Structure 1
Amino acid sequence: MSTRSPSPRSPTSSSGSDGLHDEFYELHNTQDLLRDAAREDLRTPNRLITSYADLPHEILMHIFRYVLNSQQDLQACLMVCRRWCVCGMQLLWHRPSFHKLSSLFKLIHVMIQPDASFPYASYIRRLNFSLLAGDLDDQLFGRMDVCNRLERLTLAGCSQVTDETLSRVLSCTPQLVAVDLSGVAQLSDLTLQVLAQNCPRLQGVNLTGCKKISLEGIIQLVRYCPSLRRIKMGQCEEIDSDSLLLLMRCCPMLLEADLVECPRIDSRSVREIWLRANMLRELKLAHCYELTDAGFPTPMMLEDLQRDPPEQIFHTAPPRFVIEPPSWIICDQLRILDLTNCSLLSDDAVRGIVAQAPKLRNLSVAKCTRLTDESVYAIAKLGRNLQYLHLAHIASLTDRAVTHLAQQCTRIRYLDLACCVALTDASVMQIATHMPKLRRIGLVRVTNLTDASIYSLVERYATLERIHLSYCENIRVPAIFWLTQRLTRLTHLSLTGVPAFRRSELQSMCRPPPKEFNQHQRQSFCVYSGRGVNELRRFLARVYTDDSRAEQFGDLDPEVRRALEARRS
């Protein structure tokens, strides 16, 4: 910035610094302003910028982002000059928010005024209607067809919006990059066709719960939107293996694929992931019951390939691979893999997954009931890469396998061992010794656990945030008292079905049970969350300062008592 005194000039004049304005900011209300600036620059080509009002449009926009959280400051900026007002208005309308229906009415009223000072609809880039999902209907949403520069649209749960209105609005949004249509029950292949043909820049689409979509809609998406990176199609019952095959073959930049609860997905499509180069980082196939070892790099997959080699589908290029010897792809990018309740998988599948995806960070094989200790030994090879692991309902899992896992995967942050009924205190002690970064642990229905497990966790950790101990019937109140005193970051503690916590004074601090629970479930429900954990901590602290009350809840361990007295002193 020059320190020279500025020459007298109009407060609305501008320099030519933004004469080369880009497509993002080229709005018709600023064309006259920019044209005047260009003419002035032609007359004085070497003139220095002498005022903050002369800064380029893009720089002003960046600076104004710092005052978005202060309505008073932003209003002051809008009143400086016309250039600042234009920049401020674009930011103000970039992502309008409405938490109630009246706010949406006001936005529509201002947006459709024929003599408005600014083209407000052209400034809107993002719209999120999830907070108004129950009230949004065709009449209201149909007004959004004037937002022709929309880039992100969220309609999660807006079940009253129909296919016809969706198609009309989406046909006016050629710059759309991401759209969330989860829970829009009336969505059909017609909307997907309009979306694909009018939004070629589309990169992310969420279709979770849209049960009417089928293969025909996916064909349109992959044909017109080859840059697709993220797609969610959970609970879409009509989506089959051909859909996944098309996505893998026609969308080379695909990063995330969510196919949870799609029962028609089988091994024929999943094996494509291991046979051709891809950029997948996240793959969710939970509750896809038809998946077998033939979908993963295993000997069974080789046998299946020899009987049924991959075919050419919809004129897409067939994968290039050699069956003898196998040429499986190393999926270096894969970080998240969810195979929850894929109950037909065996240890061979887990060994193949670990070998071909060595950088997995989040792995769920919960309820894969055929797995044994051999799977855990294979998972342990992921070493320090592994951070989240779900092993719930693997009944044959033993302490020896968990001990090996704890020694190898020392960076695990979340570990779920629910319903692994063969485990004992030895497993928890090894976890406490070797996993210093642990934040959450699930031990529901690990019935062999005793207070010794709790004391080992307390001794090693100060950073645990969530602990699930429901139906661990041997846990006593003194151990939980010491746990709440030592773990100051604890925000969630579940003790449902623990006999020691069925006392009315202890259950009064837990959160209310879900409405769908029956009478028996309500009586045993005991979960402390957020403020409830703090209330339990204070209550037990008062109990164990009074010896007569402490006897009613159970005596403290002598070592704990000495530690507590030393702490108080």
Structure 2
Amino acid sequence: MSSPTSLDDLSNIPETGNTIKTLHELKQESSPDSNNEMNIDGEISNDNSHHSDGNHKTHTYGADFVMDNEYNDYEELRKSLVNKRRLSSIKRPHGPFFDHNNQIDKRSLLRLPTEILLQIFHYLERRDWYSLLTTCSEIADLIIEMLWFRPHMQNDSAFKKIKEVMEINKSVTHWDYRQFIKRLNLSFMTKLVDDELLSLFIGCPRLERLTLVNCAKLTRYPITQVLHGCERLQSIDLTGVTDIHDDIINALADNCPRLQGLYAPGCGNVTEEAIIKLLRSCPMLKRVKFNSSTNITDESILAMYENCKSLVEIDLHGCENVTDKYLKSIFLDLTQLREFRISNAPGITDKLFESIPEGHILEKLRIIDITGCNAITDRLVEKLVSCAPRLRNVVLSKCMQITDASLRALSQLGRSLHYIHLGHCGLITDYGVAALVRYCHRIQYIDLACCSQLTDWTLVELANLPKLRRIGLVKCSMITDSGILELVRRRGEQDCLERVHLSYCTNLTIGPIYLLLKNCPKLTHLSLTGISSFLRREITQYCREPPSDFNEHQKSLFCVFSGHGVNQLRNYLNQVVEERTYQIDQGDIHTLFNERRRRFLNGDFDMDEEEMNIWERRRGLGVTADLGHPDMAEINREIFRELNEGNMGPDEMREHFQRLIRNHHQQRLLEHQNRLNQQLVQQRQQQQQQEPQLEQANTQNRGQTETQAQDQLQNEVQLRLQPPLQQQQQQQRAQNTIINNPQNAPQIEQPAVFPNGGNQTLPLVLNEDEDVDMEPVDLFPRNT
């Protein structure tokens, strides 16, 4: 059953008017006998002297009632009702107001404590609540407050009924329902919320929380009127409200001294004077969110530091005129701070934490976001980790000077780190990701978008995170099919991945994504924008609609699957695999594709490589049929057949790939050995042809010449044979490693990117609207 603190569905009420009739009328309708009426104690009596006159007095809560936890609504409501009932003047058999003329039967329900009554009501259905409203006034008081504590307006029917009730003059209704409202959330029906509707809730003196998220039609005037007289207001959320001016901020400062939370992201039109007035008038503030405001400067930060000592959350995203001048003091003295966010502020430097002495620990700090503060370097990150060892969420996106040194410092957070955002940090490499992942094994969310130096080795490291739910690799253009296959192989079936972002990873094809979908049943979001293999009508029909503000080019590249669309894509690819009708290349090539596949499966290896389907060429991981080795072709054909039929699991895939790699290396060694043997035979033949001429020219030195020639020839042969012998030894060691520890066996021949590894030409960082085709990486380069 849903929580009894909300008006879940008013549609269960037979008639809307029942909630506004007088108690006397309700009793007459519910009583089977007009002569028998129920007294205030819930007993049926024939004595007219016990008849209720229907008059009802509204009881108010104590002034000391304070709510700060948004998840304990029912518990706090129960406590407040218990307290109100205990302080009321209801007659008790053993109390000072006991009346011998109105004794209560011991079997009466109302003799139970209020706590037990509320617990009983908690297990009842709502239709039973509506029936209880007709029993007696005291039970009606409890039920009506539980229903109107938080009006539930999550569907059109409930929204319409509540609006009808609120439009009735309170002098006509039995209760003034505005007196019971403490939680008002209009975020579920934002399209219907306007100034006229909000004006119906003017005069709610007990209002504690006002949520107007995405109510873009509202203006500042009705909001200001609703705030008048709300001395108990503790939080207000204006996210998405565009008309935020000084009027609203001043109304909060004048009427809401208990304010603890203010979310006003669109406060660009609010002056700094109004902000400072609010901070000085509301010393109990714990959470403030002022975004996208150039009017907020260090003076506001100083007022915040001097007056609001209980702050636990500060959000200053887009406040570019804020510097670290007074923020230093906030981190030093406000020990309760848990969340701090700021972005695009050039005044934030490495000096942000310099005032914190050695050994001083920010015990409560869990979330820090310093997006787009390009002045910070690895030095700030190292200091941050040393003074905040229990950080859970770290956002350093678009901090261009961040390098692998920062990732090594963040690795000291260990099991505390759950969320890491490093988008557009173009200097980090596979080495930094490896250092981070190997120590922070509880990471659930990692975003590495536009980190263009990352390769498939990053996916190998990420595969070892058992709780990973979200991967962001947008525009990591060096990611290939091999990395996705390795991710799938290492993580196994029934993976917990939920969101994968691979847009503009232009080297990817359908095969690995199909295996990813097959092994990740919990996947709810998959972004493949800009990947040509998926920009086909039969695939894009399952993706969601592009944003309305995209231009035509962006819409043509958009390919994002969410929710049910992911399941539809998975089912479609399963069907394609079962029917063996892959359509990778553009155009209608069914006949050519089926013919090529039939010839390939039948062992015809004389096909032109350029005409082979991309699936057949790439599923061998760079090994094509022109090698001509029977064992090699058999393994390649077996892998292709299994992938077509969809019967290959991660363990089988690993075994096939290992066989493929071993046979490939052995074949290369044999070919190299054969070439050396041929060269040796040719040299011996040349030597035999030159021997008669040497005997005639110098018969005396024949023995010496032959000895030197043989020694030289033997040395050359040894030198030429040394590399394949070393390769054979390395191959033997690699095979032993695979047998002893198959989980750590490297499956990718692509070299990782490490710092100071020679003069490497680093790829450029792509802008978000670019789509550059990257050259594919040959995972198994051949010796020429």
Which category of TM-score, normalised to the shorter sequence, fits these structures? Answer: 0.7 to 0.9
* Alignment match of 1:411 (pick from 422, 442, 450): 442
**Structure 1, unaligned stretches of length 5 or more?**
1-7, 303-320
* Alignment match of 1:75 (pick from 130, 150, 154): 130
Report whether the alignment pairs 1:37 with 2:91: yes
Q: How far has the Cα of 1:236 moved from its partner?
A: 2.5
* C-alpha separation in 2, matches of 1:382 and 1:128: 38
Q: How far has the Cα of 1:423 moved from its partner?
A: 0.9
- Who is 1:249 aligned against? 306
Q: 1:352 to 1:523 in 2, by over 3 A?
A: same
Check conservation: 1:413, 1:438, Cα contact below 8 A: yes
Map 1:41-56 → 2, pairs under 5 A: 41-42=95-96, 43=98, 50-56=107-113
Q: How far has the Cα of 1:58 moved from its partner?
A: 4.6
- Who is 1:530 aligned against? 563
Identity %: 36
SS of match in other structure, 2:446: strand
* Alignment match of 1:488 (pick from 516, 521, 540): 521
Q: 1:541 to 1:191 in 2, by over 3 A?
A: closer
Question: Match of 1:441, as an amino acid?
Answer: I
- Who is 2:608 aligned against? none
Report whether the alignment pairs 1:226 with 2:283: yes
* C-alpha separation in 2, matches of 1:520 and 1:244: 43
Check conservation: 1:207, 1:233, Cα contact below 8 A: yes
Report whether the alignment pairs 1:459 with 2:489: yes
* Alignment match of 2:272 (pick from 215, 221, 231): 215
Check conservation: 1:185, 1:212, Cα contact below 8 A: no
User: Using CA pairs below 8 Å that are at least 6 residues apart, which structure has the higher relative contact order?
Assistant: 2
* C-alpha separation in 2, matches of 1:203 and 1:102: 32
* C-alpha separation in 2, matches of 1:150 and 1:12: 29
* Alignment match of 2:408 (pick from 362, 377, 382): 377
Check conservation: 1:13, 1:36, Cα contact below 8 A: no
Question: Match of 1:395, as an amino acid?
Answer: G
SS of match in other structure, 2:432: helix
- Who is 1:315 aligned against? none
**Larger Rg belongs to:** 2
* Alignment match of 2:458 (pick from 403, 408, 427): 427
Q: 1:520 to 1:249 in 2, by over 3 A?
A: same
Report whether the alignment pairs 1:353 with 2:384: yes
* C-alpha separation in 2, matches of 1:565 and 1:135: 52
Q: How far has the Cα of 1:113 moved from its partner?
A: 2.7
Q: How far has the Cα of 1:32 moved from its partner?
A: 13
Map 1:125-524 → 2, pairs under 5 A: 125-133=182-190, 136-159=193-216, 161-297=218-354, 326=357, 329-433=360-464, 435-461=465-491, 462-524=495-557
Q: How far has the Cα of 1:381 moved from its partner?
A: 0.9
Question: Match of 2:503, as an amino acid?
Answer: S
Q: 1:22 to 1:124 in 2, by over 3 A?
A: closer
Q: 1:201 to 1:55 in 2, by over 3 A?
A: farther
Q: How far has the Cα of 1:214 moved from its partner?
A: 2.7
Question: Match of 1:106, as an amino acid?
Answer: E
Check conservation: 1:93, 1:123, Cα contact below 8 A: yes
Check conservation: 2:287, 2:312, Cα contact below 8 A: yes
Q: How far has the Cα of 1:348 moved from its partner?
A: 0.8
* C-alpha separation in 1, matches of 2:199 and 2:557: 49
Check conservation: 2:42, 2:135, Cα contact below 8 A: no
* C-alpha separation in 1, matches of 2:379 and 2:532: 40
Question: Match of 1:440, as an amino acid?
Answer: R
Q: How far has the Cα of 1:409 moved from its partner?
A: 0.6
Q: How far has the Cα of 1:107 moved from its partner?
A: 3.1
**Structure 2, unaligned stretches of length 5 or more?**
1-35, 44-58, 66-76, 584-592, 594-612, 621-637, 653-784
Q: How far has the Cα of 1:246 moved from its partner?
A: 2.0
Question: Match of 1:330, as an amino acid?
Answer: I
Any idea what the Cα deviations from partners look like across 1:141-192, whole Å, max 9, x if unmatched?
A: 3332221111111223445544454333212111111111234444333432
* C-alpha separation in 1, matches of 2:461 and 2:351: 35
- Who is 2:147 aligned against? 92
* C-alpha separation in 1, matches of 2:148 and 2:223: 22
- Who is 2:723 aligned against? none
* Alignment match of 2:615 (pick from 549, 554, 560): 554
> TM-score normalised to the size of structure 1?
0.84
Report whether the alignment pairs 1:107 with 2:184: no
Check conservation: 2:385, 2:409, Cα contact below 8 A: yes
* Structure 1 stretch displaced more, 120-129 or 48-57: 48-57
Check conservation: 1:482, 1:560, Cα contact below 8 A: no
Q: How far has the Cα of 1:490 moved from its partner?
A: 0.8
* Alignment match of 1:13 (pick from 26, 38, 41): 41
* C-alpha separation in 2, matches of 1:57 and 1:134: 40
Q: How far has the Cα of 1:249 moved from its partner?
A: 2.9
Q: How far has the Cα of 1:267 moved from its partner?
A: 1.6
* C-alpha separation in 2, matches of 1:80 and 1:33: 22
Question: Match of 1:443, as an amino acid?
Answer: L
Question: Match of 1:55, as an amino acid?
Answer: L
* C-alpha separation in 1, matches of 2:250 and 2:282: 11
SS of match in other structure, 1:268: coil
* Structure 1 stretch displaced more, 160-169 or 419-428: 160-169
- Who is 1:123 aligned against? 180
Q: How far has the Cα of 1:411 moved from its partner?
A: 0.3
Check conservation: 1:61, 1:91, Cα contact below 8 A: no
Q: How far has the Cα of 1:403 moved from its partner?
A: 0.8
* C-alpha separation in 2, matches of 1:291 and 1:36: 62
Check conservation: 1:237, 1:262, Cα contact below 8 A: yes
Question: Match of 1:337, as an amino acid?
Answer: I
Q: How far has the Cα of 1:256 moved from its partner?
A: 0.7
Report whether the alignment pairs 1:565 with 2:647: yes
* Alignment match of 1:542 (pick from 575, 587, 591): 575
SS of match in other structure, 1:35: coil
Check conservation: 1:285, 1:340, Cα contact below 8 A: yes
Q: 1:520 to 1:21 in 2, by over 3 A?
A: closer
Q: How far has the Cα of 1:219 moved from its partner?
A: 2.5
Q: 1:492 to 1:133 in 2, by over 3 A?
A: closer
Question: Match of 1:494, as an amino acid?
Answer: S
Q: How far has the Cα of 1:102 moved from its partner?
A: 3.9
Q: How far has the Cα of 1:10 moved from its partner?
A: 5.5
SS of match in other structure, 1:514: coil
- Who is 2:750 aligned against? none
* C-alpha separation in 2, matches of 1:158 and 1:472: 37
Superposed CA RMSD in Å reads 3.2
* C-alpha separation in 1, matches of 2:111 and 2:641: 71
* C-alpha separation in 2, matches of 1:201 and 1:264: 29
Q: 1:253 to 1:14 in 2, by over 3 A?
A: farther
Check conservation: 2:350, 2:376, Cα contact below 8 A: yes
Any idea what the Cα deviations from partners look like across 1:280-338, whole Å, max 9, x if unmatched?
A: 111111222332222233xxxx7xxxxxxxxxxxxxxxxxx8xxxx4684211111111
Any idea what the Cα deviations from partners look like across 1:214-246, whole Å, max 9, x if unmatched?
A: 332232223232111111111233111221232
